[in-house]
Amino acid sequence: MPNPLFHRRRILRFAAACATVVTATLVLAGSASHAAAQTPAPHELRIGFQKYGTLTVLKAKGDLEKRLAPLGITVKWTEFPAGPQLLEGLNVGAIDFGTVGEAPPIFAQAAGADLVYVAHQPPAPSAEALIVPKGSAVRSLADLRGKKVALNKGSNVHYLLVKLLEKEGLKYSDLQVVYLPPADARAAFESGAVDAWVIWDPFLASAQRQLGARVVADGTGVVNNLQFYLAARPYADRNPQVVAAIVDELARLDRWSASNLPAVVSVLAPQIGLDAATTELAASRFSYGIQPITPAVAAQQQQIADAFHQLKLIPRSIRISDALPRALKTAAH
């Protein structure tokens, strides 16, 4: 585990930098952002979350509500089954902020969503995997040629499958990829309607412990599996102080979570509806220590976007730099 003092100083520096970057976003936006700055602070912050990670723990602990109460801002939390659905909510104006994996922002941006990357968690490659039923004869990706593999289209696991196939010298078309949200994919996996499932925690941990599912390959050495925090750009431009407060509270919670796994499990388990042992397995594979968006991270996202476009999984090429905080756009080109 990293030196706690070093970790604390690093997070504090990042929180200050985040406030600077978001404020710079407002300044650099010109007259349009100046007009937006005159808009009164909203009375409600709408956050989209999934059954996983620091944001869900933040919801349970209520620290953000306490932080924003003096500003007259309440927080509304909306649960989504997966990242693509969450960003669809952001795109249509139903939420202001949320967290997803690497792929959903790319699909959302290709669909025209006006979003901005705010921050990300460190890599957690073992928190997603391709799994098969415990009695399956499948031992490698090659054994899945021509077989049905379920995944949630546009989620982080979509890119995991692309990279696993690339590593094994297989084509995307060598498999019968079936697009299903997690609940439907779990049912198909249990019934034998699909031969494999590419999924993330805590659904992964649940399948392992409850169904005896076997991991054929996870993301280790193949993908980073970053979790991103994103905001609707109009909201971030109007409310940089609120976005900075969210990041600061997430940073505080990450510092606590990194050294208090049993406490995290006790808070998280009721939120995600899983037993303590399954929750602990999932939480142990999460990576704590929120980090700022950098040109290097943007470049990694661009590689994913280019891969999806080459496979015709998104309808057009995109520039990740268009979805960065304005202060980072020039550096990302």
Q: What three-state secondary structure class fits 293?
A: coil
Residue 326 confidence (pLDDT): 78
144-178: pLDDT as tens digits = 999 999 999 999 999 999 999 999 999 999 999 99
CATH topology of domain 125-218: D-Maltodextrin-Binding Protein; domain 2 (3.40.190)
Length of the chain: 333
Provide DSSP, 313-332. Answer: SSSS---GGGGS-HHHHHHH
Answer with the residue of higher pLDDT: 41 or 133. 133
270-329: pLDDT as tens digits = 999 999 999 999 999 999 999 999 999 999 999 999 999 999 999 999 999 999 997 776
Domain 4-123+226-332 and domain 125-218 have a common topology: yes
171-204: pLDDT as tens digits = 999 999 999 999 999 999 999 999 999 999 999 9
Residue spans per domain, the chain: 4-123+226-332, 125-218
Specify the pTM. 0.84
Residue 328 confidence (pLDDT): 73
Going by CATH, does the domain composed of 4-123+226-332 fall within 3.20.20.70?
Answer: no
Residue 329 confidence (pLDDT): 60
Is residue 207 predicted with pLDDT exceeding 50?
yes
Q: Are strands 148-151 and 176-179 parallel, antiparallel or unpaired?
A: parallel
Residue 42 confidence (pLDDT): 55
Query: What is the average pLDDT value for the chain, to the nearest integer?
Result: 88
Q: Are 127 and 200 in contact (CB under 8 A)?
A: yes
At a CB cut-off of 8 Å and minimum separation 6, what does 178 contact? Answer: 148, 149, 150, 151, 185, 188, 194
Is residue 224 predicted with pLDDT exceeding 60?
yes
31-74: pLDDT as tens digits = 333 333 334 445 899 999 998 889 999 999 999 999 999 999 99
Using the structure block, give the residue that is written with the tokens 């994996």. 101
At a CB cut-off of 8 Å and minimum separation 6, what does 200 contact? Answer: 52, 101, 127, 128, 155, 156, 157, 225
Is residue 6 predicted with pLDDT exceeding 70?
no
